[in-house]
Amino acid sequence: MNLKTFKLVFLHKINKLKNFSILILIVLISVASFGQRKKIKLIHADNTFKNEEKYPNAIVLLGNVAVEHEGFTLRCQQALLYPDVNIIQAVGEVFLNQGDTITQTSKYVDYNGNTKKAVSWGNVSIKDPQMTLTTDTLHFNRAEQHLYYRNKATIKDQTNTLKSTIGNYYLATKKFQAVHKVEITSPNNKLVSNHLDYYTDTGKAFLYGPSTIYSKESTVYTEKGFHDTRTKISHAVKKSSINYKDRNFKADSLYYDQLKGFISATKNLVITDSINKTVIKGGYGEYFERKDSAYVVKKPVAIILADKDSMYIHGEKMLVMGKPNERRIKTYNKVKFFKNDLQGKCDSIYSNQATGITKMLRNPVIWSDGNQVTGDTIYLISNKETSKLDSLKVINNAFVIQKDSSGYNQIKGKNILGKFIENNLKNILVNGNGEVINYLRNDDKDLVGILKMKCSEIAFELGKNSINYIDFLRKPDGQTYPPSKFPEESKLYKGFLWRDKERPKTIEDIFIYD
């Protein structure tokens, strides 16, 4: 064996001896630690004795019993102390004290000094600086500073009362994990859940199961979320909804400040107005109770419910304002609406549900059956009792167009008043500067002439893609042309614009910007 090999073998043996020494040291330390476990120390008892036949291996302690174990003091009227296993069984007016933080009373306590675990039962009441817990049976793991119960408990802190069937309390973090039939009652609120974490130092509750928060103003439901019992702020993020007075809010995420009356909602927002039969959807929205208003953005759509045919209104931004019987909806920018028998488009639209009047502004157009109606401003007027569309007003530059197979029927004037019959525009009255081009057909639908007339006031009865009847109320001026003699340059009035490509044919079309 050369010198190099000898050194390697020698070092290997030295390392083995080191590892063995470390192992022996660990065992010795463990044994020493086990042997150094502190015994439960008897401080006082009026009377002590042994009765091996009745209480084998126990010391019987009677009268004003006091023991101590690592900062843990137990007082009672009588007890059995088992020194060999470091256990005490206490009976009668048991009082526990851990430092300056934990005090407990009960009828019975079993305490193991080796595991530092206590089981208490019989009118258990335990207090720390943050809360008081009462139950019938309580387990206390001193090593982990962990309390738990399995058969109902009531916890009271500075502002709230918590009840649950099963629970854990962690003294270091002041956290309760409460499970099954959980209730937190606070001033003006009640929270009911099946699973939550509650912090007694902050009053905050984290919800992990079906949970409902009741108050005078609202009811909040969620299956995952957060509730601050002191600030009354909630954040719900799973299958969540808020019933607030006459409205219901649903969204993927709901933030609610109860004291301020403020709600914000993110993703898949749905606001249902039960009084006014309106549903508003969008990607994000906020509600302000003090102003009784809400605004919705990110593809908002208002659905005005009706028995047979609902109206869908969309724009870039939507405001809802007013008390329940005075609700107003304002929709701004790139507005379109769809109803099976009525469609429209404009830059902004105001709807007052109290008066039944809807006002369309900036380049408005509506389509009813085969009629296209435009003007500077259009008012749609509904019956307040039935919510059915009743009439319309077109103010300034009023223009009605129908497409005929040979051209376009056109009605033009300063202002127009219209009447809806069964939700279709049926009768109109032109008031001021009235003009009409009408393609006349016989009963066989053959074109027999083209009427072009002027009259300051004209009454019309409309059909689908046709004018059924015309009544010139003042001195008319014009004529009827044979189809072949009608001047080409006279076929379209000034300002004519056929906008059928902009017309939403389906509900989905209201989200298409032209």
Instruction: Kindly state whether residue 398 falls inside one of the protein's structural domains.
Output: yes
Neighbours of 496 (CB within 10 A): 14
Q: Is the pLDDT of residue 511 over 70?
A: yes
Mean of pLDDT values over 369-386: 90
Burial grade of 491 (CB within 10 A; 0-12, 13-18, 19 or more): middle
16 pLDDT band, cuts 50/70/90, is: low
Q: Is the pLDDT of residue 17 over 60?
A: no
255-281 burial, b at 16+ Cβ within 10 Å, e below that, comes to bbebeebebbbbeebbbbbeebebbbb
Mean of pLDDT values over 144-159: 93
> CA 492 to CA 488: how far, in whole Å?
9
Instruction: Kindly state whether residue 468 falls inside one of the protein's structural domains.
Output: yes
292 pLDDT band, cuts 50/70/90, is: confident
450 pLDDT band, cuts 50/70/90, is: very high
Q: What is the pLDDT of residue 37?
A: 67
> CA 148 to CA 141: how far, in whole Å?
9
Instruction: Kindly state whether residue 463 falls inside one of the protein's structural domains.
Output: yes
H-run or E-run covering 18: helix 3-35
Q: What is the DSSP string of 243-265?
A: EETTEEEEESEEEEETTTTEEEE
Neighbours of 423 (CB within 10 A): 18
> Lowest-pLDDT range, 339-343, 383-387, 427-431, 434-438?
383-387
Count of domains for the chain: 2
Q: What is the pLDDT of residue 15?
A: 54
Q: What is the pLDDT of residue 310?
A: 87
Residues with Cβ within 8 Å of 432's Cβ and at least 6 positions away in sequence, in order, are 413, 414, 415, 456, 457
Q: Is the pLDDT of residue 35 over 50?
A: no
For 466, the domain range is 381-492
Q: Is the pLDDT of residue 283 over 60?
A: yes
> CA 241 to CA 206: how far, in whole Å?
17
Nearest CA among 459, 482, 478 for reference residue 469: 459
Q: What is the DSSP string of 152-164?
A: -EEEE-SS-EEEE
Q: Among all chains, which residue has been given the structure tokens 């793991």? A: 141
Distances from the Cα of 142 to the Cα of 84, 112, 147, angstroms: 20, 10, 8
Tens of pLDDT, residue by residue over 310-367, are 889 999 999 999 887 788 999 999 999 999 889 999 999 999 988 889 999 999 999 9
Whether the Cβ atoms of residue 319 and residue 295 lie closer than 8 Å to each other: yes
307 pLDDT band, cuts 50/70/90, is: low
Instruction: Kindly state whether residue 416 falls inside one of the protein's structural domains.
Output: yes
Instruction: Kindly state whether residue 302 falls inside one of the protein's structural domains.
Output: no
Q: What is the pLDDT of residue 5?
A: 53
Q: What is the pLDDT of residue 409?
A: 94
In a 13 Å sphere around the CA of 438, the CA atoms on its Cβ side amount to 24
Q: What is the pLDDT of residue 385?
A: 76
> Lowest-pLDDT range, 12-16, 284-288, 434-438?
12-16
Tens of pLDDT, residue by residue over 94-144, are 999 988 888 999 999 999 999 999 999 999 999 988 899 999 999 999 999
Please identify, among 127, 155, 186, the residue that sits at the C-terminal boundary of a domain.
127
Tens of pLDDT, residue by residue over 199-212, are 999 999 999 999 99
SS3 category, 79: strand
Please identify, among 71, 96, 127, the residue that sits at the C-terminal boundary of a domain.
127
The CATH number of residue 58's host domain is: 2.60.450.10
Helices of type H across 87-234: none
Q: What is the pLDDT of residue 255?
A: 97
> CA 432 to CA 458: how far, in whole Å?
9
> CA 330 to CA 322: how far, in whole Å?
11
Q: Is the pLDDT of residue 381 over 90?
A: yes
Whether the Cβ atoms of residue 166 and residue 190 lie closer than 8 Å to each other: no
Neighbours of 74 (CB within 10 A): 22
Longest Cα separation, the chain: 136
Q: What is the pLDDT of residue 112?
A: 97
* Percentage of the chain modeled with pLDDT above 70: 92
Supply the pTM of this predicted model: 0.81
49 pLDDT band, cuts 50/70/90, is: very high
Whether the Cβ atoms of residue 79 and residue 65 lie closer than 8 Å to each other: yes
> CA 470 to CA 458: how far, in whole Å?
7
Instruction: Kindly state whether residue 77 falls inside one of the protein's structural domains.
Output: yes
> CA 299 to CA 312: how far, in whole Å?
12
Amino acid at 18: K
Tens of pLDDT, residue by residue over 209-222, are 999 999 998 999 99
Tens of pLDDT, residue by residue over 51-92, are 999 999 999 999 999 999 998 999 999 999 999 999 999 998
471 pLDDT band, cuts 50/70/90, is: very high
Q: What is the pLDDT of residue 389?
A: 85
Q: What is the pLDDT of residue 31?
A: 37
> CA 80 to CA 72: how far, in whole Å?
17
What average pLDDT does the structure give for the chain? 89
Instruction: Kindly state whether residue 179 falls inside one of the protein's structural domains.
Output: no
